[in-house]
Amino acid sequence: MRTPSWVLWVFLGPAAAVMAAACLYPVLTSLQLSFYDWSMGTPWSEARWVGLEAFVRAFQDEAVWRSLKTTLMFAFVSVASEMVLGIALALALEGNLRGMAVYRTLFILPMMIAPIAVGLTWRYLFDAQFGLLNAILGVVGVEPLGWLANENLAFAAIIVADIWQWTPFVFIMMIAALANVDSGVLEAARIDGASWLQSTFLVKLPMVMHVIAITLLMRLIDAFRVLEVIYILTFGGPGDSTEILSLFIYKTAFVGQKLGSAAAISVLLLAVVALLSWFALKLSNPLKREERP
């Protein structure tokens, strides 16, 4: 017996209404603001219509492209590292090892910490005078480093903080995926003489490739939206070496008081994130997989 369509609306209606109020309204407001030149604190009646001027300026602004390049570099390095480490940890801890529950709990703790707390923690660790990292370097006879005062070291610092916080997400996703791998297929591979490497890379990982792809896209989406940790750690400095696009939008809106330009760049960033989300939904649609012969 087929479920009536009104039943779906009864269950999904409240959630859809909340999502529309919490997400759709700010998006539409931002889109409207991108067509105006308006400063915070002035009446909306004084806002000046500029049309697509803010979008044109965004495409012509070298600072936007520089922030986009920094964002792409940050996303590529951090997400690639998280995927490799998360998959490696999942493969190492997927068996029934002694103390497995303790290990898994410890690995997911960083993901449960608020981003502001993560940023403050790593800022203290990277502190040039009192940081733990420089204290360790001093024990082995290495001069203290200005981690957050050097462009290359500061960029490495935000990547390390992101890897520490979000590798557990990849670990959880892969542990769940590997737990559902058919043990009969792996047993057949062992009977055929496959080594651990062969059964892992030629049998096990290909069977969970759709989960790997979804996890990769989800982490890319989050990497484009990250703000709090970098805001606390470096605020985009030194210079603009760690100024990712979301932080550039924040500075444009609340430091430069160019709300229209910030809204236009936000719309462009939303388009990129929406495209990645569309790919994730295409890959994770279980109903589409069930329709395949």
Does 168 map to a domain? Answer: no
**What was the pLDDT predicted at 3?**
74
Does 269 map to a domain? Answer: yes
**What was the pLDDT predicted at 280?**
72
Does 270 map to a domain? Answer: yes
Does 51 map to a domain? Answer: yes
Side chain identity at 82, as an amino acid letter? E
Does 267 map to a domain? Answer: yes
Domain count, the chain: 1
Write the DSSP string, 264-287: HHHHHHHHHHHHHHHHHHHHH-HH
**β-strand 36-37 against 48-49: which pairing, if any?**
antiparallel
Does 252 map to a domain? Answer: yes
What's the token pair of residue 24? 């759709």
Please state, as a whole number, how many other Cβ atoms lie within 10 Å of the Cβ of residue 25: 10
Question: What's 144's DSSP letter?
Answer: P
Q: Give the three-state DSSP class for 36.
A: strand
**What was the pLDDT predicted at 290?**
47
Cα atoms in the Cβ-side hemisphere of radius 13 Å centred on 24: 7
Q: Give the three-state DSSP class for 220.
A: helix
Question: CB-based contacts of 86: which residues, under 8 Å, 6+ apart?
Answer: 167, 168, 169, 170, 171, 173, 174, 215
**What was the pLDDT predicted at 284?**
61
Phi, psi of 65 (to 5 degrees): -65, -35
Structural domain containing residue 31: 27-60+246-274
Does 42 map to a domain? Answer: yes
**What was the pLDDT predicted at 285?**
59
Convert 241-279 to b/e letters by CB count within 10 Å (16 or more is b): bbbbbbbbbbbbbeeeebbbbbbbbbbbbbeeeeebeeb
Among 40, 87, 41, 37, smallest CA distance to 57 is for 37
239 φψ region: left (φ > 0), alpha (ψ -120 to 50), beta (else): left
**What was the pLDDT predicted at 292?**
47
Please state, as a whole number, how many other Cβ atoms lie within 10 Å of the Cβ of residue 280: 18
Average pLDDT per 10 consecutive residues for the chain, totaling 293 residues? 77 84 84 87 84 90 92 94 93 76 81 91 92 91 90 94 94 90 86 86 88 89 90 92 93 88 89 81 58 47
List alpha helices for 180-258, DSSP H. 183-191, 196-199, 205-207, 209-225, 228-233, 245-250
Does 253 map to a domain? Answer: yes
